[in-house]
Amino acid sequence: MPDSQALDLQAILDDIYTALSPRRGEGKVADYIPPLARIDPKKFGMAVVTIDGQVASVGDAAEPFSIQSISKVFTLTLAMGKHGENIWRRVGREPSGSAFNSIVQLEQEGGKPRNPFINAGAITISDLILAGHTPREVIGEIVRFMRYLANDEDIAIDPAVARSEAATGFRNSALANFMRSFGRLDHPVEHVLGVYFHHCAIAMSCVQLARAGLFLANAGVTPLSGHTVVSRERAKRINALMLTCGHYDGSGDFAYHVGLPGKSGVGGGILVVAPGKASIAVWSPGLNHNGNSLLGSLALEMLAQRTGWSVFGA
C-alpha cells in the first residue's frame, strides 16, 4: 500500500474530478425532503485529510451540504461514550438487508433495530443520548461535538432542513411510535424525533466532514488537537459497523468496490475512513437506487484504486 506522503493526493483528486465531470448530474436527488430537492444535482466536491495534516480538495469541497445520516456515526460515538457496550441491549450490530426506513423488519424483531445506522436504530441512539437531558441540550451537545472534531466553529444546523424533516418525516414518526409501543423508547416520541431530525440537518462541507472523521482513521485520536476521542478498540468497532452497515442494503457492494469503512447520507455525502491513512468526504447529490451517492461511490472507488487504500489488503 503506498504511503500517503508519497501520493500526490491533489493530482489524484483532480484526475477523478475530470474523469467524472461529464457524468455530473446523474442519479436522483432526495426529493422527499423539499430543501434537498432544490439542490443543484451537478454539485460535486471531494476532500482528503491525512492523519499527518495534508489536505487535498476539489470541486465544491468547501460548500456546506446536509450531512443527513452521516451524522449517525457521531451520535453513535456520543452514545457509546455515555453508555458503553450497554447500547447493544437496545440496538443490534447486523446489516439490515432492507431499506433504511423499513418497518417490516422492525416488527419481525420485536422493535429492536438491526443496527444503529438504519433510521430506527439512529432514533434509538437519539433516545439513549437524551438520558437526563432536554432535547435542546442534546442538540447543542451534538453540534459542539462536531465543531470540536472538525476544529471549526462555523458548523451549524440548517433550520430549514430541520423544519422540513419534521413536517415530512411521517415514516420516521411511525418507526418511533412503533418502537415506543414495544417499550423500546424511554422518552416521548416528539423529544426523540426532535433530536433525530436536528442532527440529520447539520450542514458541513467535505473538508469539515473529512476533518471530523479523522479520529476514526487515527486510532481514536484526533490529530488536529492530539486529544483522544475514543479508545483504539472503540474506533475499530465503529469502523467495523460503518463497513458492514454504513450503506444500508448497498453496504456489501460498497465494501466490494471501495473496501473501506464508509457512511452515506441522502444529502449525497459519504464519509470514508482509511485507517492509519486519512479521512475522506465526497458530495454529489444524485443518489443510486439504494439511496447512496451515485458519483460519490464511483469517486471513492477510483480513489481506492489509485491510492491502494483498503482494509482487505496491504
Q: Binding site: which residues?
A: 69, 119, 165, 172, 196, 248, 266
71-83 and 135-150 helices cross at what angle (nearest 10)? Answer: 110
Beta strands in the chain (DSSP E): 45-50, 55-59, 65-66, 156-157, 202-204, 262-264, 269-274, 278-283
Q: Is 248 a catalytic residue?
A: yes
- Catalytic residue, candidates 192, 196, 284, 293: 196
- Catalytic residue, candidates 248, 272, 284, 293: 248
Cβ distance 245 to 113 under 8 Å?
Answer: no
- Three-state secondary structure string covering 239-306: HHHHHHHCCHHHHHHHHHHCCCCEEECCCCEEEEEECCCEEEEEECCCECCCCCEHHHHHHHHHHHHH
- Cβ-Cβ contacts under 8 Å for 260 (sequence gap 6 or more): 243, 272, 273, 274, 280, 300, 304, 309, 310, 311
Order the strands of the 202-204 sheet from edge to edge: 65-66, 202-204, 156-157
CA separation for the pair 284, 21 (Å, rounded):
11
Cβ distance 40 to 270 under 8 Å?
Answer: no
SS3 204: strand
- Catalytic residue, candidates 4, 69, 264, 297: 69
Cβ distance 223 to 52 under 8 Å?
Answer: yes
Q: How many CB atoms lie within 10 A of CB 103?
A: 15
Task: Please give the grid coordinates belonging to residue 4.
Answer: 500517503
The annotated binding site for substrate is made up of: 69, 119, 165, 172, 196, 248, 266
- Catalytic residue, candidates 58, 266, 272, 273: 266
Q: Is 69 a catalytic residue?
A: yes
Q: Is 82 a catalytic residue?
A: no
By annotation, the residues acting in catalysis are: 69, 72, 196, 248, 266
